[in-house]
């Protein structure tokens, strides 16, 4: 898979792209992730990318030209263009599964007050990562990239995402490691028993119990 991220702040991605699982996925050539500063596409002599909004109001608005040119330059037949915006479709695990099947994603990060409405016509999909407003689409595009890349075959063990929270609209079951007794808090006996069927049953019950208590809305979707 290829992921191109359009941003005015490519340095924000340095840590994210160069650590841990996302770094290893790139080293293993399972994904190619590139950031592109769309200021480089500005035709303005001062490389301007934003201006005051027509009709007044506060803040600067991203102009269509640099973003249109950048997308047109990067676009392939297979590309899915995604705009990061709080007005987009709420991002869910199922959206991550859907996007993990794609061959090429182009993520557009807005910034400042907003972007010119005509930029919307470039997008196949608009995504919001939650009902709050961030200073830009950079963190949302990292959230989307992270959750999609870990689902690409070979990035992590398949079993680990089959047990993920939100898989089948259930929260994950509790897990424990050493020691068996930590400050009086003990690992449930069944996990030490080696009895696989009982462990499986315990986990299913815990998963359901947890979802009922914390996210009953998920159970309604099942």
Distance CA 49, CA 62 (A): 6
Q: How many residues of this chain interact with ligand ADE, rule: CB under 6 A?
A: 12
Nearer to ligand ADE, 85 or 207 (CB): 85
Contact predicate 149/22, CB 8 Å? yes
Q: From 40, 65, 79, 46, select the one nearest 115 (Cα to Cα).
A: 65
**Rounded to the nearest whole angstrom, what is the least distance from the CB of residue 2 to ligand ADE in the complex?**
21
Active-site hit among 86, 102, 174, 203: 86
Residue 57's contacts (CB-CB under 8 Å, 6 or more residues apart) are 113
**Rounded to the nearest whole angstrom, what is the least distance from the CB of residue 129 to ligand ADE in the complex?**
4
Site string for ligand ADE, 122-161 (x = CB under 6 A): ------xxx-xxx--x--x---------------------
**Rounded to the nearest whole angstrom, what is the least distance from the CB of residue 139 to ligand ADE in the complex?**
8
Asked about 37 being catalytic, the answer comes back as no
Nearer to ligand ADE, 109 or 170 (CB): 109
Q: Which two tokens stand for residue 24?
A: 């290893």
Residue 152's contacts (CB-CB under 8 Å, 6 or more residues apart) are 1, 25, 30, 31, 100
Q: From 175, 196, 171, 199, select the one nearest 187 (Cα to Cα).
A: 175
**Rounded to the nearest whole angstrom, what is the least distance from the CB of residue 106 to ligand ADE in the complex?**
15
Nearer to ligand ADE, 149 or 170 (CB): 149
Q: Which two tokens stand for residue 140?
A: 């949302």
Asked about 159 being catalytic, the answer comes back as no
Is there binding between residue 114 and ligand ADE (CB under 6 A)?
A: no
Contact predicate 31/2, CB 8 Å? yes
Nearer to ligand ADE, 100 or 109 (CB): 109
Asked about 164 being catalytic, the answer comes back as yes
SS3 state at 101? coil
Which positions touch ligand ADE (CB under 6 A)? 84-86, 110, 128-130, 132-134, 137, 140
Q: Residues with catalytic annotation?
A: 86, 113, 150, 164
């Amino acid at each position: 898979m290829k992921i191109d991220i359009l941003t005015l702040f490519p340095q924000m991605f340095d840590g994210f792209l160069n650590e841990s699982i996302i770094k290893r996925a790139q080293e293993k050539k399972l994904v190619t992730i590139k950031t592109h500063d769309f200021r480089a596409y500005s035709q303005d002599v001062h490389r301007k990318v934003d201006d005051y909004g027509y009709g007044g109001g506060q803040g600067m608005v991203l102009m269509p030209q640099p973003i249109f040119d950048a997308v047109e330059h990067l676009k392939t037949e297979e590309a899915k263009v995604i705009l990061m915006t709080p007005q987009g479709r709420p991002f869910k695990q199922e959206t991550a599964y859907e996007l993990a099947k794609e061959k090429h994603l182009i993520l557009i990060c807005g910034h400042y007050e907003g972007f010119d409405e005509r930029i919307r016509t470039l997008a196949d999909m608009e995504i919001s990562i939650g009902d709050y407003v961030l200073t830009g689409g950079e963190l949302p595009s990292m959230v989307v990239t992270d959750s999609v890349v870990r689902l690409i075959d070979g990035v992590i063990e398949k079993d680990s995402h089959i047990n993920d929270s939100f898989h089948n609209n259930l929260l994950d079951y509790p897990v424990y490691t050493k020691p068996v007794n930590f400050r009086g808090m003990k690992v449930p006996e069944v996990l030490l028993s080696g009895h696989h069927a009982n462990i499986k049953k315990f986990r299913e019950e815990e998963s359901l119990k947890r979802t009922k208590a914390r996210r009953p809305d998920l159970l309604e979707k099942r």
